[in-house]
C-alpha cells in the first residue's frame, strides 16, 4: 500500500485507476477485477471522491479508515479520498481541474468509472466528472508545470446496470477476497441498530452480490464475473484464440 500522505509527484504511474463516488463502491462493482489486475502484476489504485458523510451509518473518518483496510484485500498500491461533499457532487470547473490534476500526477493507463446512469446522482456525476477530467488532463496548457497525461482506456463498471456488457472479467478466484474487502466496512455491513430497516443483513448482501456475479460469470462460462462497458469498438487481432465458446 502507498502512504496516502506521500506527494503525488513521488508516485510511480498506475496501470489501473478506479474512480468512485463513495468508499465501498469499487468493492461492489469492480473489486474482483482490481484484485485480478494486481495479482497479474499491474499497479492498481482507487480514488474515492467522497467519504460518504451523508450515509446513515458510520462517520467520514471511519469510512476512510475502513477503505484503507479494504485496500489491503484489494492489493492496491494506492488509495486516496478527495472528501468532496457526499450526495452533492457537481460537475464544476473546480472539480474537473482538481481531478485532472490528480490524473496528470498518477498517470493511469486505464481508468474505471461508474456506469453513466443510475439511481444515485453521485454515481453518474462521478462518471461525468471522471470522463471530462481524463480529457482535460491531456491538454498541454492546462497546467504547464506538470506534463499532460490522458488515459488510454476508459471502462465503465456495469455490474448493476441493465445493459449488455461489452465484456466480462472472470473473477472466480478473486470473489472471496472481493467480499472480504467489502466487509471491511463494518460500519456499513456489520450488525447494527442504526438504519437496520434500510440495510440488509451481511448474509443477504453476500447472497445478492454472489447472484449478480454468477449471472455475469455464466455469460462467459465461469463461476463469477464482473461486467464492463466501453463506448468504442474493440479490436481483435487473432480470431482463432478468442475466448468464450459460441456453441
Instruction: Give tens-digit pLDDT for 187-222.
Output: 888 766 655 556 678 889 999 999 999 999 999 999
Q: Which pLDDT does position 54 carry in this prediction?
A: 82
Mean pLDDT across the stretch 127-148? 95
Look up the pTM and report it. 0.93
Q: Which pLDDT does position 55 carry in this prediction?
A: 78
Task: Say yes or no to pLDDT of 95 above 80.
Answer: yes
Task: Give the up-direction half-sphere exposure of residue 136: CA atoms within 13 A in the CB hemisphere.
Answer: 20
How many other CB atoms sit within 10 Å of the CB of residue 153?
Answer: 13
Give kind and range of the element (H or E) at residue 121. helix 121-136
pLDDT > 90: percent of the chain: 82
The domain segmentation of the chain, as residue ranges, is 8-229
Task: Say yes or no to pLDDT of 2 above 80.
Answer: no
Task: Say yes or no to pLDDT of 9 above 90.
Answer: no
Mean pLDDT across the stretch 110-117? 97
Rounded CA separation 59/43 (Å): 29
Q: Which pLDDT does position 6 carry in this prediction?
A: 57
In tens, the pLDDT along 34-82 reads 999 999 999 999 999 999 888 777 799 999 999 999 999 999 999 999 9
- Quickly state the pLDDT bin for 10 (edges 50, 70, 90): low
Rounded CA separation 195/188 (Å): 10
Are the CB atoms for 225 and 216 separated by under 8 Å? yes
Q: Which pLDDT does position 201 carry in this prediction?
A: 83
Angle value at C-alpha 24, between 74 and 174, nearest 5 degrees: 35
Mean pLDDT across the stretch 73-98? 97
Mean pLDDT across the stretch 109-134? 96
Arithmetic mean of pLDDT over the chain: 92
Q: Which pLDDT does position 185 carry in this prediction?
A: 94
Task: Say yes or no to pLDDT of 3 above 80.
Answer: no
How many other CB atoms sit within 10 Å of the CB of residue 135?
Answer: 15
Q: Which pLDDT does position 42 carry in this prediction?
A: 98
Q: Which pLDDT does position 180 carry in this prediction?
A: 97
Mean pLDDT across the stretch 92-115? 97
> In sequence order, which residues have a C-beta less than 8 Å from that of residue 156 and are 6 or more positions away?
112, 113, 114, 115, 116, 127, 228, 229, 230, 231
CATH number of the domain located at residue range(s) 8-229 in this protein:
3.40.50.10320
Q: 198: burial class by Cβ within 10 Å (0-12, 13-18, 19+)? A: exposed
Rounded CA separation 137/119 (Å): 28
Rounded CA separation 61/166 (Å): 36
Amino acid at each position: 500500500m502507498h502512504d496516502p500522505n506521500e506527494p503525488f509527484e513521488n508516485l510511480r504511474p498506475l496501470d489501473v485507476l478506479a474512480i468512485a463516488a463513495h468508499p465501498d463502491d469499487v468493492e461492489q462493482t469492480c473489486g474482483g477485477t482490481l484484485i485480478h489486475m494486481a495479482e497479474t502484476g499491474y499497479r492498481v489504485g482507487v480514488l474515492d471522491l467522497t467519504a460518504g458523510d451523508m450515509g446513515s451509518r458510520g462517520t467520514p473518518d471511519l469510512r476512510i479508515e475502513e477503505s484503507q483496510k479494504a485496500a489491503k484485500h484489494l492489493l492496491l498500491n494506492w488509495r486516496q479520498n478527495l472528501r468532496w461533499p457526499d450526495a452533492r457532487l457537481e460537475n464544476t470547473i473546480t472539480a474537473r481541474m482538481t481531478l485532472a490534476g490528480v490524473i496528470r500526477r498518477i498517470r493511469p493507463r486505464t481508468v474505471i468509472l461508474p456506469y453513466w446512469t443510475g439511481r444515485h446522482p453521485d454515481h453518474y456525476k462521478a462518471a461525468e466528472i471522471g470522463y471530462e477530467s481524463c480529457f482535460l488532463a491531456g491538454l498541454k496548457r492546462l497546467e504547464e508545470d506538470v506534463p499532460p497525461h490522458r488515459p488510454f482506456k476508459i471502462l465503465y463498471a456495469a455490474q448493476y446496470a441493465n445493459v449488455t456488457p461489452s465484456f466480462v472479467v472472470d473473477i472466480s478466484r478473486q470473489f472471496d477476497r472481493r467480499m472480504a474487502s467489502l466487509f471491511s466496512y463494518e460500519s456499513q455491513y456489520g450488525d447494527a441498530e442504526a438504519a437496520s430497516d434500510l440495510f440488509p443483513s451481511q448474509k443477504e448482501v453476500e447472497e445478492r452480490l454472489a447472484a449478480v456475479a454468477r449471472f455475469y460469470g455464466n455469460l462467459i462460462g465461469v463461476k463469477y464475473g464482473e461486467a464492463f462497458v466501453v463506448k468504442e469498438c474493440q479490436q481483435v487481432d487473432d480470431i482463432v484464440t478468442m475466448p468464450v465458446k459460441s456453441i
